[in-house]
Chains A and B, each alone.
Chain A
Amino acid sequence: MSKKITIEPVTRVEGHGKVTILMDEQGNIQQSRLHIVEFRGFERFVQGRPYWEAPVLVQRLCGICPVSHHLAAAKALDVIVGAGTGEGLTRTGEKMRRLMHYGQFFQSHALHFFHLSAPDFLFGVDGDPAIRNIIGIALTNPALAVQGVMMRKFGQEIIRATAGKKIHGTGAIPGGINKSLSIEERDEFLKGADPLNADKMVSWAEEALDFFKKYYFANKDFIDNFAFFPSNHLSIVRKDGALDLYNGVLRAVDADGKKILNDVDCQEYANYIEEEVRSWSYMKFPYLKEYGKEKGWYRVGPLARLNTIDFIPTPLAQAEFEKYKALTNGKPNNHCLHMHYARLIETLHAAEMIRELLNDPEIMGDDLVTKGQKIKEGVGVIEAPRGTLFHHYRINDNDQIEMANLIVSTTNNNEPMNRSVNFVAKKIMTGKEIITEPMMNAVEVAIRAYDPCLSCATHALGKMPLEITLLDHNEQVIDRKRSH
């Protein structure tokens, strides 16, 4: 008799969803799906609002990475107010936005690694769920827990200084920024009491990376083979091929490293990317038009970024990048759990960038906004912590938004997350009648690697839990697990 397994909700991810796994009579996995079960509709209710409200309104999509939405919307509106496509802002305007963005990266990546993923590494995928969490880390490795909390705090303080608030600020406005850094604020971040200063954050980012690398080399087989499958990878890159999380051109490579989207202008994204709707999820499935639904899907996020770029423009992260690339002989890395490795290299890069920006006197300038000839439509693309984020707006003659399209990082990862779930389910659940907690967590580990933000992905409002369900061939529920 066939079965349907439901895991609901998936835990230690941002937002809520569920997994269903369909088994045939012989216990073989027929199909696995990650369902995002909530609907929001920001694209609709932003319509009619004055365009300059968008960066403040749409960032409410998320409480974890609102800065990404805030900045992507502001970048789209820069185009509309004639301030160019990323390079037209004043130097202070651009640097303040970058500082805000790298602060956001630093805190979001620290949150994911220390709070959401580290418990799996410290206690094992099959560890006791009662302690496999941040509280367990605090009890068994308090220094590491403090490090995670303080790294997050530092990033949040950078956001507060640049956007006015740690969550949902107002710093970026069309054409620039509404404040620069005061000398006191700058000095506090550079010379603040231990541990809250930029130098300490760089060294802690290195320590976090060392912590993961030790775990990796001790568990190489598991990390390398857990949900390994080839895919395309997409991100923005700086025009010279450097890692640039704030601005650049769109690049995609296939599993062998061949460029399949060759540094195209972000304003043209709609010519290259399309979204498919499937009836069982509120999250769409984007793909590269030229390669179709079957072959055009791609991954975004840390793994993808380190596959598309040529180098990292900060020395410590570049040195780590070279070692990381050597693991796959310079070829794209398709190991799902290497996402954590890539994320920690990016965390180090973000810390280095924060220190560099704080040491730049232009961060304290007073030329904040630039504007030019207004046009009706603009696209803002940014690398959010979880991957490439697209914001696209069109306005009417009265300055009201008449169209908005958002392709959120986690949406871009929809197909790969589904494939990861399927990969793990096939490997560990084939022939099994009862779902054990470690099996469930293994599926969640695959999803968690992407650091998905499910509430962002459906642009939804409200709470989102996640569950796993086991169905028989008649789609009758055999077993269901739900976490809160």
Chain B
Amino acid sequence: MSNLIKFKIDGVECMAEAGTYIIEAAKKNGVYIPTLCNMPNLKPKGSCRICTVKINGRLMTSCTTPVADGMEIESTSAEISELRKSIIELLFVSGNHFCPSCEKSGNCELQALGYLYQMMVPRFPFDFPVKGIDASSPKIIKDQNRCILCKRCIKSIKDAEDRSFFAFRGRGNHLEVVLDAELASTMTDAQAEEAMRNCPVGSIIVKEKGFAIPIGKRKFDHNPIGSNVKV
């Protein structure tokens, strides 16, 4: 208990063990900070920037910043909410996200954040990038139209020898997450399910099981994202 430190999120007193990343510390205190790339038990990368908070006037990613004694964190101010909304909108316009026919709809974290931050009409022009679909794997489909390059799949879906099924390929605008064709042929059903579950959008889809969950039973049908964190 001696490691416990005090800090504030939006003026509310919180406590956590020293060294805990802000996003986790907030969660333990019933405060939801959104993320699209961070996952429990994986080293944080701060790649999606949705979890950005303001500490002492500086913008920091809460998944990579450890909480410190006396720290005052700003997470729900108009400025931070607007910043997060902008990031969500940019993610939408830089891909081809057609929620009406996407089977991840209702379970999609990006879509859920769009609703949470009340994204109405995008203010940025659509890119409409030409993207492909890799359907050659026996278990999953990798739809590049919907990929937000969060790296969750790269970091979390590995075989028994710790080799990742997914990897980055290309640079800049051409950067994409691809599936290792050789390893993909050894992917188990459980790994395929986990890859789809970990993907925050509809970029990884398990084959031939589409739309099995009826509307009304999907993750975000009744409660907005983050509801399970709030106390």
Residue in chain A with minimal CB distance to B210? A52
Contacts of B213 in A (CB 8 A): 178
Tally chain A residues at the interface, Cβ within 8 Å: 24
- Chain A residue at smallest Cβ distance from B205: A50
Residues in B183-210 with C-beta less than 8 Å from chain A: 205, 207-210
Contact partners of A195 in chain B: CB under 8 A: none
Residue A414 at the B interface, CB < 8 A? no
CA distance A163 to B135 in the complex (A): 28
Contacts of A260 in B (CB 8 A): none
Known: A398-B135, A398-B136. A178 touches B211 (CB 8 A): yes
B141 within 8 A of A: yes
Residues of B within 8 A of A169 (CB): 215
Question: Are the C-beta atoms of A399 and B214 separated by less than 8 Å?
Answer: no
How far apart are A304's CB and chain B's nearest CB, in angstroms? 31
In the complex, whether B101 has a CB less than 8 A from a CB of chain A is yes
Q: Which of B133, B205, B208, B210 contacts A48 (CB 8 A)?
A: B133
Does residue A56 face the partner (Cβ distance < 8 Å to B)? yes
User: Nearest CB to that of B100 among chain A residues?
Assistant: A60
Out of A57, A60, A178, A398, name the residue touching B212 (CB < 8 Å). Answer: A178
Q: Considering the chains assembled together, what is the distance between the CA atoms of A48 and B134 in angstroms? A: 10
Closest B residue to A374 by beta carbon equals B208
Q: B176 an interface residue at 8 Å Cβ cutoff?
A: no
Chain A residues within 8 Å of B135, by CB = 50, 398-400
Asked if B211 and A60 make an inter-chain contact with CB atoms under 8 angstroms apart, the answer reads no
A257 interface hit (Cβ, 8 Å)? no
Asked if residues B207 and A178 are in contact (CB atoms below 8 Å), the reply is no
In the complex, the answer to whether B208 meets A56 with C-beta atoms within 8 Å is no
Interface residues of A in 347-399 (CB under 8 A from B): 398-399
Are A60 and B101 interface neighbours, CB within 8 A? yes
Given contact pairs A52-B208, A53-B103, A170 touches B214 in the complex (Cβ within 8 A): yes
In the complex the two chains form, what is the Cα distance from A112 to B209 in whole Å? 36
Which listed residue, B101, B211, B217, touches A173 by the CB 8 Å rule?
Answer: B211
- From A49, A52, A399, A400, give the contact of B211 (CB < 8 A): A52
Is B210 in contact with A53, judged by CB distance below 8 angstroms?
yes
Q: A50-B205, A398-B135, A398-B136 are in contact. Are A168 and B214 (CB under 8 A)?
A: no
Alpha-carbon distance between A50 and B217 when the two chains are bound, in angstroms: 23
In the complex the two chains form, is B101's CB within 8 Å of A56's CB? yes
CB distance from A357 to the nearest CB of B (A): 18
Docked pose: A174 CA to B133 CA in angstroms: 21
Q: Is B11 an interface residue (CB 8 A)?
A: no
Chain A window 43-59, contacts with chain B (Cβ cutoff 8 Å), 1 for yes, 0 for no: 00000111011011100
- A171 sits at the interface (CB 8 A): yes
Whether the pair A56, B207 counts as a contact (CB closer than 8 A) is no
Q: Cβ of B136 and Cβ of A173 under 8 Å apart?
A: no
Q: What's the Cα separation between A164 and B221 when bound, in Å? A: 11
A179 within 8 A of B: yes
Which residues on A sit within 8 Å (CB–CB) of B215?
163-165, 169-170
Number of CB contacts from chain A to chain B under 8 A: 57
Q: In the complex, what residues of B have CB within 8 A of residue A168's CB?
A: 100
User: What residues of chain B lie closer than 8 Å to A52, measured between beta carbons?
Assistant: 103, 208-211
Contact pattern, B 64-107, Cβ under 8 Å of A = 1, otherwise 0? 00000000000000000000000000000000000011010000
Interface string of A160-200 (1 = CB under 8 A from B): 00011100111101100011000000000000000000000
Q: Which residues of A contact B205 (CB under 8 A)?
A: 50
- Expressed in whole angstroms, the Cα–Cα distance for A168 and B100 within the complex equals 8
B211 x A170 contact (CB < 8 A): yes
Residue numbers in B under 8 Å from A173 (CB-CB): 210-212
Q: Is B216 an interface residue (CB 8 A)?
A: yes
A55 to B133, CA, bound (A): 19
Interface string of B104-140 (1 = CB under 8 A from A): 0000000000000000000000000000010110000
Of all chain A residues, which has the CB nearest B221? A164
Is B208 a contact of A400 with CB atoms below 8 Å? no
Q: A171 — nearest CB in chain B belongs to which residue?
A: B214
| Nearest chain A residue, comparing its CB with the CB of B98 | A57
Q: Could you say which residues of chain A place their CB within 8 Å of the CB of B100?
A: 56-57, 60, 168
Q: Which residue of the partner chain A has the closest CB to B212?
A: A178
Q: What's the least CB distance linking B45 to chain A, in Å?
A: 30
Q: Across the two chains, which residue of chain B brings its CB closest to A46?
A: B101
Q: What's the minimum C-beta distance from B177 to chain A, rounded to whole angstroms?
A: 18
Q: Choose among B103, B208, B216 the residue that contacts A399 (Cβ–Cβ < 8 A).
A: B208
A114 to B208: give the CA distance in the assembly, Å.
41
Give complex CA distance A57, B100 in Å. 7
Inter-chain CA distance A332–B141, complex, in Å, is 51
Q: Which residue of B lies closest to A400 (CB)?
A: B135
Given contacts A398-B135, A398-B136, contact A53 B212 (CB under 8 A): no
CB closest residue in chain A, given B137: A398
**Chain A positions within 8 Å of B211 at CB level:** 52, 55-56, 170, 173, 178
Bound Cα distance from A52 to B135, whole angstroms: 13
The residues of A that contact B207 with a CB separation of less than 8 Å are 50, 399
CA distance A165 to B208 in the complex (A): 22
- Partner of B214 from A81, A164, A174, A398 at Cβ < 8 Å: A164
Q: Which residue of B lies closest to A161 (CB)?
A: B216
What B residues does A56 contact at CB under 8 A? 100-101, 103, 210-211
Min CB distance A332 to B, Å, is 40
Determine how close the nearest CB of chain A comes to the CB of B210; give it in whole angstroms.
Answer: 4
Interface positions of A from 48 to 82, Cβ below 8 Å from B: 48-50, 52-53, 55-57, 60, 81
Give A337 Cβ to nearest chain B Cβ, in Å.
37
Taking CB atoms, residues of chain B closer than 8 Å to A178 are 211-214
**Nearest CB of chain B from residue A49's CB, rounded to whole Å:** 8
Q: How far is the CB of A164 from chain B (nearest CB, A)?
A: 3
CB of A400 to closest CB in B, whole Å: 5
- CA A52 to CA B211, docked complex, whole Å: 8
Chain A residues within an 8 Å CB radius of B208: 52, 81, 174, 399
Other than A55-B211, A60-B101, give 8 A-B pairs with Cβ distance below 8 A: A49-B133, A50-B207, A53-B103, A53-B210, A56-B103, A173-B210, A178-B212, A400-B135
Which of B's residues lie within 8 Å of A, judged by CB?
A: 100-101, 103, 133, 135-136, 141, 205, 207-217
25 A–B contacts from the bound complex (CB under 8 Å): A49-B101, A50-B135, A50-B141, A50-B205, A50-B210, A52-B209, A53-B101, A55-B211, A56-B100, A56-B103, A60-B101, A163-B215, A164-B216, A168-B100, A170-B211, A170-B215, A171-B214, A174-B208, A178-B214, A179-B214, A179-B217, A398-B135, A398-B136, A399-B135, A400-B133
> Which 5 residue pairs spanning A and B have beta carbons closest together?
A164-B215, A52-B210, A398-B135, A57-B101, A179-B214
